[in-house]
Structures are given as C-alpha cells and as structure tokens.
Chain A
Amino acid sequence: EPEVTQTPSHQVTQMGQEVILRCVPISNHLYFYWYRQILGQKVEFLVSFYNNEISEKSEIFDDQFSVERPDGSNFTLKIRSTKLEDSAMYFCASSREGTDTQYFGPGTRLTVL
C-alpha cells in the first residue's frame, strides 16, 4: 500500500540554522500539507499546497517558513532561521483531492538547540 515517507526521522540543529525537511507524498495525490506537533500539544496545520502554489496557510507559517515541490516526487518544508520554539514533530500529509482523506507520514522530529 502506498504511503507518505519523510526524511530525516530526526534532525538536530543549532538555533539560527536553516533546515529542510523532506517528504515524498503518495504518487497520485495532488494536495500536500505540513502539520506540526509541539510535545504535549495539538497537531497544528501549517500549510497546504496545490498546483505548485500555497493554497492555505496558518498564522504559524510566517516568513521563516517556505515550501517547495522541487521535482515530481518531493515536497519540502524549509525553516530559514530556526528558533528554539520550532522544536516539534513535523508531519507531511497528502490527499488525492482537497476534500479527500489526508494520509500522514511518520514525521520528522526537529530539535533546535
């Protein structure tokens, strides 16, 4: 069964450094998403992406964040200058259509020191 994959599983970085989190969505899906879960808190929506552009973003997704689909398979989340409060589990998800079920990857745990 096809699944969403994410790399790396764990990323440790220094405050102020740039990080890129990578995701490979399910191959016939058209909508892509990033969510994050700070330890002990709710899973929060960051951004959705369709047809090579952002379709929706939350207040969390400020200028420090960007997303890209650099080729036909990868979907990336870049954090330009990481802050301590960016430490969280970041989940990628994809769906065939916007109204369809979103399937999640296993997550990348980002630790900012």
Chain B
Amino acid sequence: GEDVEQSLFLSVREGDSSVINCTYTDSSSTYLYWYKQEPGAGLQLLTYIFSNMDMKQDQRLTVLLNKKDKHLSLRIADTQTGDSAIYFCAEIDSGAGSYQLTFGKGTKLSVIP
C-alpha cells in the first residue's frame, strides 16, 4: 500500500529557513499536502501541490516536488517561534477513485529563539 515517510525531528534557529522533507511511494498521487498541528490542536492545512507542478510558493512557504524521486519538501523562510509545531505530509490518489489521505508520521519542528 501507499506509504509516506518523514524525518521525526528538526531544530532550527529563529530567523533561519526550515526544510522539512517527505518521501512517498504512490507514483499516482494526485495531490500532496502539508498540514500543521500545534500542541493540543487539530490539523491545519498549510498548503498543497498538484502532482503536475514542481513548485508552489505561498508567502513564507515554498513547496518543491520531485516526482522522479517521489520527494516533497516544505521550506519555511524566516522561521519564527510560532512555527514550532508538528508538520504532516499527506498524499491522495484521487485517480484511483479514493479520497482518503495517507499521512506521514509528522516532523516536529522546534524553533530556538
């Protein structure tokens, strides 16, 4: 079945850029998402990218997609302490008629002041 893998922890200094990486196995993924989860809170959609795109930028967030390597990354520019959270990569293969999201385990981002 589909699998999504992420590194579990990332620590950066405030003001630096953060890069969170994700790999997936489903070559027919149609949409890939990044969700953010703050302590005790739900899953907040950050951004998404369609599988026919290579890059998407949204203010401080840049998503890069390498379809050949099945690698997705999320870059957060000028990381702030408020960015400390768990970041989940998720994919959906709507081409198969399935609308279920498959999530990674999440990367815990710690921002050091």
Please give the residue numbers on chain A whose beta carbons come within 8 Å of chain B beta carbons, in ascending order: 4, 6, 31, 33, 35, 41-45, 48, 55-56, 58, 91, 93, 95, 98-99, 101-107
Contacts and interface: CB of A to CB of B under 8 A. Distances in A.
A56 B98 contact: yes
Contacts of A99: 30-31, 92, 94, 99
Interface string B86-111: 00101010100011111111100000
What 7 A-B pairs have minimum CB-CB distances, sorted nearest first? Answer: A106-B42, A45-B100, A104-B43, A98-B99, A43-B103, A99-B94, A104-B42
Contact of B99 (A42, A48, A91, A105): A48
A77 B14 CA distance: 41
Contacts of B104: 42
Given A43-B88, A99-B31, A101-B48, A106 B41 contact: yes
Contacts of B105: 41-42
Contacts of A93: 43
Interface of B: 30-31, 33, 35, 41-45, 48, 88, 90, 92, 94, 98-106
A105 to B, nearest CB: 6
Contacts of A35: 101
26 contacts: A31-B99, A33-B100, A41-B105, A43-B88, A43-B101, A45-B100, A45-B102, A48-B99, A56-B99, A58-B100, A95-B99, A98-B99, A99-B30, A99-B92, A101-B31, A101-B33, A101-B45, A101-B48, A102-B45, A102-B99, A103-B45, A104-B43, A104-B44, A106-B41, A107-B41, A107-B43
Q: Which of A42, A55, A95, A99 has the most CB of B within 10 A?
A: A42
Given A43-B43, A103-B45, 6 more contacts: A42-B104, A43-B88, A43-B90, A95-B99, A102-B101, A104-B45
Contacts of B88: 43
